[in-house]
Structure 1
Amino acid sequence: MKHIVLFALVAILGLAACSTSKKDLPSFKLTLSVTNFDGKQVKVQKRVGDVWEVIDSVKVEASVAHLKGTIETPEMLFVAFEDLRGNVPFFAEASEITIKADPQNLRQAEINGSLTHERYQAFTDKFEEFDEVLYQHYQAYKSAEEAANEEGLKAAEAAYEQAEKDKKQFLVDYVRTNNKDVVSHYILYRNTYQFELDELEGMVVTFDETVKSSYLTDLFDRVMVLKSVAIGMPYKDFKQAAPNDSLIKLSDKVGAKVLLVDFWASWCQPCRAENPNIVAIYKDFKGKGFDIFGVSFDTDKEKWMQAITDDNLTWTHVSDLKGWGNEAGKKYGVQSIPHSVLLDANGNIIAKNLRGEDLRNKIAELLK
């Protein structure tokens, strides 16, 4: 029943997206007050896939800039400042919005006039309180580690894990309680990497379908992608370049008794920390039908190749050098790395995201 509801809601959202012309969309007006920035450009933009789409831009005059745009539903937009790395995120809605910003301290920008943003900020303020708790437990762990206090280490680690669970549960409770709010769509959209398929789908199908947003559409798309690469599903083929620029398909490697598709990157410290385990497993099982297909989220080819050499990764490697825009990563719903998929000889997905001893034990079991 849940799957039928999901498909029905996807269809409803698709029809809604086709029914509104741009000229009929509501508009917002933004008055930006920014000190010491006259003559420089500011722009309102939004993230669309892997690129920034500019909605409006203007130069600051007398410390003020007036910007505007149209939106179908309330959505998160960003004020970008010429020659500055940071930006000011704000929830735009059909209203007159004001932002006061100091170029030297964009994080403390004052945003008024958007009720949607007020709700988002209220959630964020509470959500970030968990980060302070997590930091305290991390500091306690480091102190115990320096003092070689085994009991202190265990206590701090347990407290940290509990705080992580509490933070996640706070998010879940907020989303379920506020299932008619685009803010919940956005919050869940930004945190989908924390949830397995069943958890995510269980929240997505509870949203009130009368409230539309691009984030809700993306959430449905995310669920569909995860379903397509769930355990038991056949692999999705793709083709990317090896370090020598030859193109290699995943299907070229399928057929090994057990094939590990390993998504990683040279800049990913958890990936690099896991590599010695994978190297040891490969050494022990490569002669028994085990193989690895590495897919890098790098953008710098030289750094990618250097990491392969430094970590002694002697299996097949490919990348399209698009970073988080890696096309294979999109097919497999990868939102954090390291990420891995284990395939059997027929190319069926039999496990995901196993590491360390769990990965070793699973491979040993499969190759008995």
Structure 2
Amino acid sequence: MKKISILLLAIATILASCSIVPDDSYQITGSGWEQYNGKEFQILVRDTSETGIKTIASSIIENGKISLQGNIDHPQTAFLGIYTKDNEFCGWKQDFIAEPGTFTFVLKEGEKKASIEGGKYNDILLKDIPAKKDIANANKNLTEFAEKYSSLKKEEQDEKAQRKYQELYSVYSKALQNGYVDLFKSHNDPYVRLLCISHLRGLKNVKEELANLEKEIGLVPEIANYYYSMKKAEEMAKNRKTVGVGSVVKDFTAKNLEGESFNLAKVLKQNKYVLVEFWASWCGPCRAEIPHMKDAYENFKDKDFEIVSFTLDHVQKSWKKASDKEQIPWINVGDLKAHSSPVVQMYGVQGIPANFLVNQEGEIVAVNLRGTQLDEKLEELLR
């Protein structure tokens, strides 16, 4: 009788211990992150908040190791990123699917991406598809040529080599796309089909597909985020139609890094032409334009020309660091709301860099002037 009681107690203990481990929990450990010691490893998902993203888990990297845990009700498209304690992006990002399970992230020396072990949906979408023979071969050919291309002297990186790279990229991109299309059409798990959507370009009847998935699994966060993004995209598309050449620019007020407010309408009254430029510290092409803009500013600032830069940064330290490094001499403002900024949405800005050249009456006379195009247009208008 005593043995039976002990056995029953042991079984009860096991069952109790099992019951406190929720089905929606995840645990993540990893190694090989020594170069980021002291930085914060974050898992971020898209949401319908003002910034459009939220951090669901984070861990300070110590001795090259990470350790995170948490809960998530439904699998979601996410990405892994490394940031400073002030939330400044450190230049490392990788796609991931946030889902229940046990994971290991290992960053090997010389590798740009971490190897991820664990997760049903991560295996299906981010491991099995890229490993398909035709996709893997196409990626191998592209990677090998890219390495060869980067080792060429500048004069050897001619149009023929560039065309070859584009051809190899097109083959890889098409193979990858076909892999996700096949998965989307054939898999019986609605979550697999839902998570496929972010990998599909030009998917027809997206709203209809989402509505069908909603009937199967309910209004889960991934579907809610798509609805929210589509609504915002429609609003921005409408706004873009109102900020073309010949239309009147939309007024706004924003603050610079010192907290001083600038009103666009007031700046327009003080100058014959104003360039309204949208940029961000993390945007390479934006920063590549700054030397050209500096030349134009130096040549025409004494002829009643001004520039108003509006940043899509959401971290002030990143904005300030880039502004100081680039030594931006013109009006430099923002609201730290990134793509969710009312100003960004009002102008229908989806991609950056983007700019609008405006005359004193507020009429847009040119858009998206790049490189010497800005100098040439100003020379035409202010000579």
| Contact 2:274–2:308 (CA under 8 A) maintained in structure 1 | yes
For these two proteins, the number of residue pairs brought into alignment is 305
Question: Could you say if the C-alpha distance between residues 163 and 357 of structure 1 is closer, same or farther in structure 2, counting changes exceeding 3 Å?
Answer: farther
**1:185-220 deviation line (CA, Å, top 9, x unaligned):** 3236xx9xxxxxxxx797856855423413421441
Whole-Å separation in 1 of the counterparts to 2:72 and 2:294: 52
1:51 is matched with which residue? Answer: 54
Whole-Å separation in 1 of the counterparts to 2:252 and 2:203: 26
Whole-Å separation in 2 of the counterparts to 1:338 and 1:286: 21
State which of 325, 331, 340 in structure 2 corresponds to 1:316.
Answer: 331
Q: Secondary structure at the match of 1:70?
A: coil
Larger Rg: 2
Whole-Å separation in 2 of the counterparts to 1:306 and 1:53: 32
User: Normalised by the size of structure 2, how large is the TM-score?
Assistant: 0.58
Whole-Å separation in 1 of the counterparts to 2:363 and 2:229: 25
State which of 268, 272, 283 in structure 1 corresponds to 2:287.
Answer: 272
Q: Secondary structure at the match of 1:211?
A: helix
- Structure 1 residue 299 and structure 2 residue 316: aligned? yes
Equivalent residue letter for 1:29: D
Question: Could you say if the C-alpha distance between residues 361 and 124 of structure 1 is closer, same or farther in structure 2, counting changes exceeding 3 Å?
Answer: farther
Q: Secondary structure at the match of 1:144?
A: coil
Unaligned runs of 5+ in 1: 1-26, 37-41, 56-63, 192-199
2:163 is matched with which residue? Answer: 158
- Structure 1 residue 217 and structure 2 residue 219: aligned? no
Alignment of 1:87-126 (within 5 A): 89-90=96-97, 92=99, 98-101=101-104, 107-114=114-121, 118-125=124-131
Equivalent residue letter for 2:253: K
Q: Secondary structure at the match of 2:306?
A: strand
| Contact 1:44–1:78 (CA under 8 A) maintained in structure 2 | yes
Question: Could you say if the C-alpha distance between residues 365 and 173 of structure 1 is closer, same or farther in structure 2, counting changes exceeding 3 Å?
Answer: farther
**1:9-63 deviation line (CA, Å, top 9, x unaligned):** xxxxxxxxxxxxxxxxxx9534648589xxxxx99874432432469xxxxxxxx
Question: Could you say if the C-alpha distance between residues 65 and 202 of structure 1 is closer, same or farther in structure 2, counting changes exceeding 3 Å?
Answer: closer
| Contact 2:105–2:117 (CA under 8 A) maintained in structure 1 | no
| Contact 2:293–2:371 (CA under 8 A) maintained in structure 1 | yes
1:183 is matched with which residue? Answer: 195
Equivalent residue letter for 2:353: P
| Contact 1:259–1:293 (CA under 8 A) maintained in structure 2 | yes
Give how far 1:274 is off: 1.8
Unaligned runs of 5+ in 2: 1-21, 32-40, 59-66, 86-91, 215-222
Equivalent residue letter for 2:292: N
1:144 is matched with which residue? Answer: 152
Equivalent residue letter for 1:185: I
| Contact 2:146–2:165 (CA under 8 A) maintained in structure 1 | yes
Whole-Å separation in 1 of the counterparts to 2:126 and 2:360: 47
2:76 is matched with which residue? Answer: 75
| Contact 1:295–1:318 (CA under 8 A) maintained in structure 2 | yes
**1:239-293 deviation line (CA, Å, top 9, x unaligned):** 3222442111333334666432222345654333322211223344446664321
- Structure 1 residue 354 and structure 2 residue 369: aligned? yes
Give how far 1:227 is off: 0.8
State which of 232, 240, 250 in structure 2 corresponds to 1:230.
Answer: 240
| Contact 1:45–1:52 (CA under 8 A) maintained in structure 2 | yes
What is the aligned-residue identity percentage? 21
Equivalent residue letter for 2:325: A
Whole-Å separation in 2 of the counterparts to 1:164 and 1:253: 45
2:254 is matched with which residue? Answer: 240
User: Normalised by the size of structure 1, how large is the TM-score?
Assistant: 0.60
| Contact 1:235–1:349 (CA under 8 A) maintained in structure 2 | yes
Give how far 1:161 is off: 3.4
Whole-Å separation in 1 of the counterparts to 2:224 and 2:336: 27
